Chain A
Amino acid sequence: MPTVLKEVDVVFVGFGWGSSILAKELINTGLKMVGLERGFPRFTSPDFQSPEIHDELRFAVRKAMMQDTSVRRLPCVIL
């Protein structure tokens, strides 16, 4: 059963770099905003810490920061 949430003015689908900056810019407009995010929370340290973050095989090739597609897949979105 889908859960019907309260209606808002703005919904950010994915709340990473781009939408979080956009949200900050919109904060004074008075619009009601919701950010949807399914990824794990990431922090500058230790998640992006040097020198580990320079591991190209782990992050760029094998996408260690991305969704684990063996257990989590794209959600079914009904608009």
Chain B
Amino acid sequence: MSAISRRELLAKVGLAGLTAAVTPKAPAEETAHSENENRKTDRTQGSEPGEANYVFFNREEAQFIEAAVARLIPTDQHAGAIEAGVPNYLDKQLAGAWGAGERLYTSGPWEPTRPGLGYQLPLKPGELFHTAIKAINAELNKSGPAFWEMSPDQQDEYLHKLDAGGVDLNGVPSEVFFDQLLGMTIEGFFSDPVYGGNKHMVGWKMIGFPGAYATYFDLIDKHGIKFEREPVSLGQGHGHFIPDPNIPAESPHQ
């Protein structure tokens, strides 16, 4: 993990959100109008970093999540988890059907001590996050600074402690929570922007992934060229095919 100063972190995560919340936007009508326009033209974009509208996390949970994902995928010459809107991804996924355990088998029997059986807790993803983060914040509140007030090195140390396991987070083994948090952070960084993360497709641009092109039909007989198109998201509404410009798109019956 590359070093990131606390000042940078606060500027990106905390202060940006606070300032945005308390500073009146002027002129308000114009801002609202242009935001709507942006949404209309590009459905792949979420809110700005630090401006996530949380529906699942409460304030303290959000502060923990923002600080933690900023350490898991820190900002360097590429965008990090914060710029990619990973907290927004986590929030929207946990608030929705997936977070409520849709399609997740939760009827036991549970054998948490036997290895190789996968997830062995009766908690649904949303319950897992609420329980674990509440326990983390309560534990740190007893002994000193909150997670988001620590230095990046201290935060890394604490995350390593969770990862190593053996910490009981009110019934959730810390390594189970850490694995879920890391996994979802990676998902939020690389999955399609329609899910709330990978904002501006920063994750895809970083690795050169083209995204959800429906077809490369027009490129089949073009060899030896470098593919340099911008990635596309599922939300950009590309059709099944890129039509031949010589064939009119209108139906002949119209």
Residues of A within 8 A of B (CB): 49-52, 54-57, 61-63, 68-70, 73
Pick from B98, B195, B212: contact of A54, CB below 8 A. B212
Q: CA A23 – CA B63 in complex, angstroms? A: 57
Pick from A50, A55, A56: contact of B240, CB below 8 A. A50
Main secondary structure of the interface of B (DSSP, over half): loop
Residues of B within 8 A of A (CB): 98, 101-106, 187, 191-192, 195, 211-215, 232, 234, 238, 240
B103 A62 Cβ-Cβ under 8 A: yes
A51 B238 Cβ-Cβ under 8 A: yes
A57 B195 Cβ-Cβ under 8 A: yes
Q: CA A68 – CA B98 in complex, angstroms? A: 12
List chain A residues, Cβ under 8 A from B214. 50-51
B105 A57 Cβ-Cβ under 8 A: no
Q: Of B195, B211, B212, B215, which is in contact with the most chain A CB atoms at under 10 Å from its CB?
A: B212
Known: A51-B212, A52-B212, A62-B98. 8 other contacts (CB 8 A): A50-B213, A54-B213, A57-B191, A57-B195, A68-B103, A70-B101, A70-B102, A70-B105
B187 A69 Cβ-Cβ under 8 A: no
B101 A51 Cβ-Cβ under 8 A: no
List chain B residues, Cβ under 8 A from A70. 101-106
Pick from A50, A55, A63, A69: contact of B192, CB below 8 A. A55
Given contacts A56-B191, A62-B98, contact A51 B103 (CB under 8 A): no
List chain B residues, Cβ under 8 A from A69. 103-105
Pick from B187, B234, B240: contact of A61, CB below 8 A. B187
Q: List 10 tightest A-B contacts by C-beta distance, closest first.
A: A50-B214, A51-B212, A69-B105, A51-B214, A57-B191, A54-B212, A68-B103, A70-B103, A70-B104, A50-B215
List chain A residues, Cβ under 8 A from B191. 56-57, 61
